[in-house]
């Protein structure tokens, strides 16, 4: 196992994907999605959105921090090497056309179909909500509008997004049959899930078992030294289990020194290496992996105006796409009556 790479399909022209600005991105995001984006940015046209409108589906207070989170997520994108020359990075709410397209799509989706989305029940349960809001029910329809607005044909996501992408494809199919073929049915390559530092199935910010891309070297070291490892192995001379061991899973993804990994695995299986050595080498490897990311982050963090320009520029470009697609959708539906200069914009 090494970093996942994406096998390109020849018909892919455009990628779109993105994240809600709910906090900093971590190594799980890198393995599960950012790596695929980096593979794709040299090969197809790329759109990456910060989905701030989606935040309202689960949170209606304490929204002041969303502005800060938007900045941090964009910094994470730039830090990992997503290149604004190649990728259109944009803010969802700066493309308000997406809400009109959402409305058109809402007419094509039955309430029971929207209620069957598994993430809906999960969110209500995990966030202890009394009931889902209309916005939460419409979550995947807004996501479908994000995707189809730019006619993306490839949407790299984590496995938790699968049901949303299935609905997106259904909406595209339904629209194309009812009116005329306007939208592609996007493929959605799913990146691997990274195990948590504590051995839980998933690295997740809410579980507190992650290394953030923005963690400093000492924090990384501390987190690695307290990682869950083979619990049977109470002494260094007892043979240990490499398979399924989070420390070795991380070595395999992030340690570019393959000889070192092979050597550590051998000696671990034979009971000839201590946990401290294995972990210290992992901390060093992860810090090596993060160093160029830290450097790019520092460059952009020192230039807040540049970051803002990148987001605004991207949003202008995305908005142009959105206006074209929305007009096309309206025409296909027979809604293009009464279109002239926008009312109120005459002079
Ligand atoms: N729902 C996605 C998440 O939480 C974020 C998102 C919004 C998205 N719109 C999208 C992802 C469109 C892919 C495509 O991770």
With tokens 């490892």, the residue in question is 229
Mapped onto helix, strand or coil, the DSSP state of residue 107 is: coil
Q: Are residues 67 and 111 in the same domain?
A: yes
pLDDT at 4: 85
Range in 95-104, 131-140, 233-242 the model is least confident about: 233-242
Please give the share of the chain, as a percent, with pLDDT higher than 70. Answer: 97
Q: Are residues 309 and 241 in the same domain?
A: no
List Cβ neighbours of 334 (8 Å cut-off, separation of 6 or more): 179
Per-residue confidence band for 5, with pLDDT thresholds at 50, 70 and 90: confident
Please give the share of the chain, as a percent, with pLDDT higher than 90. Answer: 92
Question: Which residue among 146, 149, 152, 318 is best mutated to probe the pocket of ligand 1, counting the most ligand atoms within 8 A of its Cβ?
Answer: 146
Which ligand 1 atom is at minimum distance from the Cα of 51? 7
Per-residue confidence band for 85, with pLDDT thresholds at 50, 70 and 90: very high
Whether pLDDT at 345 is above 70: no
pLDDT at 346: 57
Question: Which residue among 14, 15, 20, 149 is best mutated to probe the pocket of ligand 1, counting the most ligand atoms within 8 A of its Cβ?
Answer: 20
pLDDT at 27: 98
Query: Separation of 334 CA from ligand 1 center, angstroms?
Result: 29
Per-residue confidence band for 3, with pLDDT thresholds at 50, 70 and 90: confident
Q: Are residues 164 and 52 in the same domain?
A: yes
Q: Are residues 18 and 133 in the same domain?
A: yes
| C-alpha–C-alpha distance, residues 99 and 105, integer Å | 10
Average pLDDT on 193-209 reads 95
| Residues spanned by the domain of 164 | 14-194+304-333
Q: Are residues 184 and 227 in the same domain?
A: no
Which ligand 1 atom is at minimum distance from the Cα of 143? 9
Of 90, 124, 119, residue with least CA distance to 21:
90
Query: Separation of 201 CA from ligand 1 center, angstroms?
Result: 21
- Domain end among 301, 323, 342: 301
List Cβ neighbours of 278 (8 Å cut-off, separation of 6 or more): 229, 247, 248, 251, 264, 268
Query: Separation of 150 CA from ligand 1 center, angstroms?
Result: 14
Query: Separation of 219 CA from ligand 1 center, angstroms?
Result: 29
Residue nearest to atom 14 of ligand 1 (CA): 17
Instruction: Phi first, then psi: give them for residue 91, nearest 5 degrees.
Output: -100, 125
Beta bridge pairs of residue 15: 46, 154
Average pLDDT on 177-190 reads 98
In this structure, is residue 343 part of a structural domain? no
Average pLDDT on 240-246 reads 95
Question: Which residue among 33, 164, 168, 322 is best mutated to probe the pocket of ligand 1, counting the most ligand atoms within 8 A of its Cβ?
Answer: 164
| Residue ranges around ligand 1 (CB below 6 Å) | 16-20, 51, 54, 143, 146-147, 155, 157, 161
Q: Residue 228: give its domain's CATH number.
A: 1.10.240.10
Contact 82, 49 (CB under 8 A): no
Per-residue confidence band for 342, with pLDDT thresholds at 50, 70 and 90: low
- Domain end among 301, 324, 342: 301
Q: Are residues 141 and 266 in the same domain?
A: no
Query: Separation of 266 CA from ligand 1 center, angstroms?
Result: 41
Structure tokens at 188: 């959605």
Which ligand 1 atom is at minimum distance from the Cα of 139? 1
Q: Are residues 178 and 246 in the same domain?
A: no
Q: Are residues 155 and 35 in the same domain?
A: yes
pLDDT at 79: 98
pLDDT at 336: 87
- Residue 343's Cβ-count burial label (10 Å; 0-12, 13-18, 19+) is exposed
List pLDDT tens digits, range 87-118. 999 999 999 999 999 999 999 999 999 999 99
Query: Separation of 172 CA from ligand 1 center, angstroms?
Result: 17
Rounded mean pLDDT of the chain? 95
In this structure, is residue 206 part of a structural domain? no
Query: Separation of 129 CA from ligand 1 center, angstroms?
Result: 21
Global model pTM greater than 0.85: yes
| C-alpha–C-alpha distance, residues 262 and 157, integer Å | 31
Residue nearest to atom 10 of ligand 1 (CA): 143
In this structure, is residue 210 part of a structural domain? no
List pLDDT tens digits, range 289-338. 999 999 999 999 999 999 999 999 999 999 999 999 999 999 999 998 88
Q: Are residues 29 and 63 in the same domain?
A: yes
Residue nearest to atom 13 of ligand 1 (CA): 17
In this structure, is residue 209 part of a structural domain? no
In this structure, is residue 136 part of a structural domain? yes
Whether pLDDT at 195 is above 70: yes
Q: Are residues 231 and 268 in the same domain?
A: yes
Q: Residue 166: give its domain's CATH number.
A: 3.40.50.620
In this structure, is residue 293 part of a structural domain? yes
pLDDT at 341: 61
pLDDT at 33: 94
Q: Are residues 134 and 45 in the same domain?
A: yes
Whether pLDDT at 1 is above 90: no
In this structure, is residue 43 part of a structural domain? yes
pLDDT at 222: 98
Query: Separation of 18 CA from ligand 1 center, angstroms?
Result: 5
Q: Are residues 264 and 115 in the same domain?
A: no
In this structure, is residue 347 part of a structural domain? no
Question: Which residue among 51, 120, 151, 162 is best mutated to probe the pocket of ligand 1, counting the most ligand atoms within 8 A of its Cβ?
Answer: 51
List pLDDT tens digits, range 202-230. 999 989 999 999 999 999 999 999 999 99
Domains held by the chain: number: 2
């Amino acid at each position: 196992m090494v970093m996942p790479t994406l096998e390109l399909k020849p018909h892919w022209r455009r990628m779109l994907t993105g994240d809600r600005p709910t906090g900093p991105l971590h190594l799980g995001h890198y393995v599960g999605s950012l790596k695929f984006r980096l593979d794709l940015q040299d090969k197809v046209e790329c759109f990456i959105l910060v989905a701030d409108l989606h935040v309202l589906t689960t949170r209606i207070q304490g929204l002041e921090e969303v502005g800060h989170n938007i900045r941090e997520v964009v910094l994470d994108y730039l830090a990992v090497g997503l290149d604004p020359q190649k990728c259109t990075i944009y803010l969802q709410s700066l493309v308000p056309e997406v809400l009109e397209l959402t409305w058109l799509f809402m007419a094509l989706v039955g309430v029971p179909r929207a209620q069957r989305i598994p993430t809906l029940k999960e969110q209500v349960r995990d966030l202890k909500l009394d009931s889902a809001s209309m916005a939460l029910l419409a979550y995947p329809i807004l996501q479908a509008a994000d995707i189809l607005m730019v006619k993306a044909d490839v949407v790299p996501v984590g496995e938790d997004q699968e049901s949303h992408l299935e609905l997106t494809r259904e909406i595209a199919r339904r629209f194309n049959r009812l009116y005329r073929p306007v939208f592609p049915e996007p493929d959605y390559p799913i990146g691997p899930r990274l195990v948590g530092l504590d051995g839980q199935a998933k690295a997740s910010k809410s579980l507190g078992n992650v290394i953030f891309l923005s963690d400093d070297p000492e924090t990384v070291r501390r987190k690695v030294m307290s990682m869950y490892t083979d619990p049977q192995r109470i002494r260094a001379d007892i043979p240990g289990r490499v398979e399924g061991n989070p420390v070795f899973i991380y070595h395999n993804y992030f340690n570019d020194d393959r000889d070192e990994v092979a050597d550590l695995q051998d000696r671990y299986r034979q009971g000839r290496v201590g946990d401290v050595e294995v972990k210290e080498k992992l901390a060093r490897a992860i810090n090596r992996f993060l160093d160029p990311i830290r450097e790019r982050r520092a460059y952009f963090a020192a230039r807040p105006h540049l970051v803002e320009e990148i987001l605004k520029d991207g949003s202008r470009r995305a908005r142009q796409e959105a206006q074209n697609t929305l007009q096309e959708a309206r025409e296909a539906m027979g809604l293009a009556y009464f279109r002239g200069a926008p009312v109120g914009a005459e002079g």
